[in-house]
Each structure stands twice: as structure tokens, then as C-alpha cells.
A = this chain, B = another copy of it.
Amino acid sequence: MHAGLSLSLCVAAVALTTATAQAPSSNAFSSSLPTQKIQGIPAVNPVSQPWIWPLPQNWERGTNTLKVSKSIRFEGKGARQPIVSKAIKRYQNLMFKKEDYPMIPYNWSTTDNKPSRSSLSTVVIDIKTNDDHLDMDTDESYTLTVPTSGKAVIQAETVYGVLHGLETLSQLVQYYPERKSYYVPNAPWKISDFPQYKHRGILLDTSRHYYTVQEIEKLIDTLSWNKLNVFHWHMLDSTSFPYVSKKYPQLAAHGAYTPRHVYTANDIKHIVQFAKERGVRVIPEMEAPGHSTAWGYGIPEIASCLNTQPYFGYTIQPPAGQLNIAHPKTKEVVYGLIDEWAELFPDSFFHAAGDEVIMKCWEEDAYITDHLQKTNQTLIQLFEKFALDMEDHVRQKNKTVMVWQEMLLEYHVNLPKDTVIQVWIGSEGVKEVTSKGYRTIVSAQNFWYLDLGFGRPRSNPYPEVQGAGFNHWNRVYSYDMRANLTKSEADLILGAEATMWGELADPNNVEDRLWPRAAAFAERLWSGYENPKGEELISADAILRLLPWREQLVLRGVRAGPLNQGFCTRNPLDCFQPPNPAK
């Protein structure tokens, strides 16, 4: 493993006789020093897989290096489809990002990098159907061929397959700083790609901290680059009610943090359209009847234990307050909001929450206890009825109901079998839910909660002990959600979501919290655990692609944190070695 001691043929040394970077420091440097070589002992080019993130299912490559024209044209009827033509404009920019002094001192060519005489100047886009309907069952597959000369072709069943093909094409294009030009190495290319899981999402909490429409759109853009296709919008919670309802404007008027911290119908339509144009579904979560203090500010009669002080015992975190599930006005309001959201969010999935209610809040509410006595039922019965009625109202809008695991595993509510259960406790929960025959979406907190690790503000506002529970990229990448499942149970996994709850995340740090770890998550869902040949996808291969993908995300404007020392980006094989040298 003396990887550092021989100079590979394919090291593209950043050998610049004149320095042209903007930083004054490098100018000063270049004037005092002659030709610059890359740092120290050059890295061996550790390329075994192409730098495509997530890795395509099937790919074949050749040995030619093809120059890419910056005036590349996109042809065919498919290129004029409205969603595709907008995407082409974006990718004509994304394809040509550059860094004259890249931290990675080689590119991913496996050959000698000598360009062939022809160049890539045309891409033909071929879409089978005109239907731009986007849903869980939308066909996202595509093929991409880049010949040694002539036109590249992206072929797909739907526009959404084309979007993925454009993303893959953009990742094939590499900037060669020593030639100041763009190339596709290893042509000809033949890629045939499709996702392993249909539902690939990120949950963002915009109630604990607010994000502007622009900040949400930037996140959705980044999702699409990682071939994630679901934005799970946890818009409401106890902390604030940013949704400006047409029927109940008083909810946001008193429940939003301020008049600026709101989402109007217009904002939502804008975001849904923006996401659709990037192949991303927007699934709203209506958090109820727990985690709902903020509703009570605008309509006090629908709340129980509103802002009870001290809050301990009435809520898992401040402020206390749940929906009053006995009051007739509560259902009226919840149904009214469902009616509005069913229109604003065209997706066929609708998340009806149902998690983390605290019985003590209701048990001490005289309105509720009186009602239970009058109607001769238990609190659990009342709760079950409320939740099932709410879910039925969603079903009447022709939506698939998603709920949190508690509905099934903790409250044992008798849920219809078409309910999709989102599981956050990990492998045991996935087993229990699927063995009961329910479809599931996996958000295992010990692996895919990306907000954890920074102390426990929930249980103790003045933590004495250090934060723990940070899910490192390799832990994110390594989690196998099929663990201990039978084949038929595993088939009930629709996909997964990584979460970004809002206690300690806001627009200032959310990008570092999410990326590049959410990218590791994204590859698992798109590429799966094995490729079609049955070969396992492993961390030790993935890191060699994840390092350049993080650099690419930074170039595209995402504040993604580093995976390790800069030295490891430059010399991955000298750094990412098996932890136990005895092995």
C-alpha cells in the first residue's frame, strides 16, 4: 500500500507557470516562485469508479477524452419540453463550474487524458411520454450515451428521468485546470440508470426555525443534484404556525413568530412548482394533535394545556400545548386546513403526523375529562377516533396517508392497511411495522437523524454533559434498513427520509448539518446496497467519490462541511486506510 511513492500516469498535476487566481497571496507567491507542482508526494489516482454521485446502476466507459464545448446545444423534441428546457439552462451553468487550484490534484480519468480530436457539442433529448405528472410511481429511469464522436443522447420515459440524466451528464464533465478547458474523460459512455427506492427524502422543520422561500428553494435544488425526490415539509409545530390559512388567518396572525416568518398560499405554490421542475415532490406534514401549541395562540378554544408553566410533564419540550381533541371546533379547523393543503400540495401523499402526544396534558383539561364522562369513553378511544377521523378526511381527498410510527407501535391505533408508516426508531421498528404488513418509510434516528449530536435542549436547557449521537457520514452510509427483514417485509420499504429537526438548526448552519451526509444517504437510496451485478457498494469505494462530490457541492454554492483533513481530499489512499492495520 505504498500508494504515495509512485507517480501514476494519470495524475493531472496542477502545473501552472502563471498563477491566475484572484487571491493576492497566490500572485505574490507566483512571482517569487517558478513552476508550481502539486503538494508533496503526488497522490496516486485512486479512480476505480467514475465520479458520479449517486453511482448509476449500470455504466460502461471507454478510454477516450472528449473535449466539451461551452456552447453545447441540446436538441430533440424533448429539449423543448418546458421543464426540460428550464433544466437545460440550469445545467449549462452547473456543467461548467471550475476551480483553477483544485484540492483534488487529479481527475477521474483512467487513461492518459490526451483529448481526442472530436468534441462534444450536442446532446439529444428523447422523452417517451409528454405527461409531467410527478408522484411516487413516476418512472425516473434514464439512459445516457456519450459516443467518442457525434451526439450524446439522454433517453427517458418521463421528463423526470431526463432531469436525472442531465445531472449525471453534468457530473461527467470535468474541468482540467492545466488546459483551462472542460472534458468528458473515458468516452464512450453508456449509462443505464434507475433508483433502487422510490421515496428518497429530506425532512425540514420550518416551525422551530423559519426558512425563507429562497432558502427552501436552495435546499430543493441541492436535493435534486443528489437525485433525492421528496421534500417532507414539517411546517407546523408547537413553536410557531407560519402557514397563512385563507379560512383561519388568525392562526398565523398570532402563531407565526412575526409577520415576516410566514408562508402564504403563494409561497407554497411557488415552492411546489420550483420543486416539480426539479423532480422533487413536496409532502406536507400537518402536525396534530400533539406538538401543536402554536395553533392555540390564534384559536385558544382548540388547545389544551396551552403554555402551562412549568412545562415539565406536559410536553417533551417547551411550550406545552396540544389540540383539544374533544372540542368540535378543533376538527372543524383541522379539516379546514386539510382542505386547503390538499389543493396547495398536489402530491398524492399527505402526512398526518400523530406522534408524541402527552396524555397528562389532556387528563388535566376539564373540558376533555367532562367530555369523556359525558360520552362514556376513555382518553385513548377519544384520541384514536380523532386521529382516524383526521386521516379519513385526508383519504377523502384521494391522498395516501403517512403517519409517524407511534400511531401503530405505541398507541396501537387500528390503522387501515394503506397507511404508510414513517419509522424513526430504526431496525426493530421497521421489522415490527413491516411484519404487520404496513408499507414504511425509514428515518432511523440512530443513523439518519442528521440534526443530532449537539446536546439535548429538549430534556435539559442547561446541559452539563457533552453532546453525543452525531451520525458520521460512514454511519449514515452504512445503515442497512433491510436488516433482519424477510424478502416480503423488505419489499414494503418504500424508501427513507433523513431528518433535519429544528431545535438547533436554522438557515445559518443547516447546509453544513445536511451536506455531505445527506449525500451519503442519497446514494444508498438511489444506488442501493448492491449494484445489478450483485456487487456490494461499500464505504471504502464511496469515499473516493464522495470527496470530489463534496468539492462539487461547494463549487455549486452549498456550504458543505469537509469529510476529513484537506490532506485526505488530496491523497485519499494515504488517508482512508482500514482502521486496523492487522487486517
Which A positions have Cβ atoms within 8 angstroms of B? 1-5, 14, 16, 19, 21, 23-26, 28-30, 32-33, 36-41, 100-103, 105, 208-210, 212-213, 238-240, 244, 249, 252-264, 266-267, 293-294, 296-297, 306-307, 309-313, 317-319, 446, 452-455, 457, 459-475, 478, 502-506, 508-509, 511-512, 539-540, 543, 554, 559-568, 570-571, 574-577, 579, 581
* B residues less than 8 Å from A29 (CB atoms): 244, 252, 259, 262, 264
Q: Which of B312, B512, B564, B566 has a CB less than 8 Å from the CB of A210?
A: B566
Nearest residue, chain B, Cβ from A515 = B508
The docked-state distance in angstroms from the alpha carbon of A30 to that of B564 is 47
* Closest partner residue, chain B, to A470 (CB atom): B467
A565 touches B503 (CB 8 A): yes
| Residue of B41, B249, B452, B568 touching A318 (CB-CB under 8 A) | B568
Q: How far is the CA of A2 from the CA of B310 in the complex (A)?
A: 7
Task: Provide 27 A-B residue pairs closer than 8 Å at the C-beta atoms, listed in order of the A residue.
Answer: A14-B259, A19-B260, A21-B260, A24-B267, A26-B259, A26-B260, A28-B244, A33-B252, A36-B258, A36-B259, A39-B254, A39-B257, A40-B254, A40-B255, A40-B307, A41-B297, A101-B258, A101-B260, A103-B261, A105-B258, A240-B566, A461-B579, A464-B478, A504-B563, A505-B562, A506-B561, A512-B512
Bound together, the chains give a CA A39 to CA B466 distance in angstroms of 33
Is B453 a contact partner of A470 (Cβ separation < 8 A)?
yes
> A469–B472 contact, CB under 8 A?
no
* Assembly CA distance A33 to B258 (angstroms): 13
CA distance A42 to B2 in the complex (A): 66
Q: In the complex, how many angstroms separate the beta carbon of A256 from the nearest chain B beta carbon?
A: 6
Which residues on the B side are within 8 Å of A574 (C-beta)? Answer: 307, 309, 311, 318-319
List B contacts of A296 (CB < 8 A).
40
Cβ–Cβ < 8 Å partners of A26 in chain B: 259-260, 262
CB-based contact B559/A508 at 8 Å: yes
Asked, given contacts A318-B575, A575-B318, whether A209 binds B311 with beta carbons under 8 Å apart, the answer is no
Nearest chain B CB to A52's CB is how many angstroms away? 21
Q: Which residues of B contact A267 (CB under 8 A)?
A: 24-25, 28
Q: A469-B466, A512-B512 are in contact. Are A213 and B25 (CB under 8 A)?
A: yes
User: Inside 8 A of A461's CB, which chain B residues have their CB?
Assistant: 543, 564, 568, 575-577, 579
- Give the docked Cα–Cα distance between A16 and B260 (Å): 11
How close is A216's CB to chain B, nearest CB, in angstroms?
A: 11
Q: Which 7 residue pairs across A and B have the least CB separation, nearest first?
A: A467-B470, A40-B297, A455-B472, A101-B260, A239-B567, A509-B512, A468-B468
CA distance A244 to B158 in the complex (A): 55
Q: When chains A and B are docked, how far (Å) is the Cα of A312 from the Cα of B260?
A: 54
Interchain CB contact under 8 A, A467 and B453? yes
A463–B257 Cα distance when bound, in Å, is 39
User: Within the assembled complex, what's the spacing in Å between the Cα atoms of A5 and B28?
Assistant: 64
Q: Are B566 and A1 in contact (CB under 8 A)?
A: no
CA distance A2 to B30 in the complex (A): 66
CB contacts (< 8 Å) of A463 on chain B: these are 472, 474-475
Q: Is the CB of B313 within 8 A of A564?
A: no
* 20 new A-B contacts at CB < 8 Å, known A25-B264, A33-B259: A5-B307, A21-B259, A25-B263, A26-B259, A28-B244, A39-B297, A41-B306, A208-B566, A208-B567, A257-B566, A461-B577, A464-B478, A465-B475, A466-B470, A468-B469, A468-B470, A470-B470, A505-B562, A506-B562, A559-B559
Cβ contact of A470, chosen from B317, B455, B511, cutoff 8 A: B455
Q: With A and B bound together, what is the CA distance between A512 and B21 in angstroms?
A: 27
Q: How far is the CB of A524 from chain B (nearest CB, A)?
A: 15
Known contacts A309-B2, A461-B575; A260/B208 CB under 8 A: no
Residue of B nearest to A256 (CB): B39
Chain B residues whose CB sits within 8 angstroms of the CB of A39 once the complex forms:
240, 254-258, 294, 297
Residues of B near A297 (CB, < 8 A) are: 39-41
Query: From residue A310, how far is it (CB to closest CB) to chain B in Å?
Result: 5
For A459, give the chain B residue with the smallest CB separation. B579
Residues of B within 8 A of A540 (CB): 462
A28 touches B238 (CB 8 A): no
The residues of B that contact A103 with a CB separation of less than 8 Å are 257-258, 261
Which B residues touch A466, using CB under 8 A?
Answer: 446, 452-453, 468-472, 475
> Which of B252, B307, B560 contacts A41 (CB under 8 A)?
B307
Which B residues lie within 8 Å of A543 (CB)? 461-462
For the complex, give the distance between the alpha carbons of A562 and B502 in Å. 9
A529 to chain B, nearest CB (A): 16
Q: B504, A508: Cβ atoms under 8 Å?
A: no
- Name the residue of chain B whose CB is nearest to the CB of A560: B508
- In the bound complex, how far is the Cα of B580 from the Cα of A291, in angstroms? 22
CB distance from A43 to the nearest CB of B (A): 11
Question: Are A509 and B559 in contact, with the CB atoms below 8 A?
Answer: yes
Measured CA separation A464–B457 after assembly (Å): 25
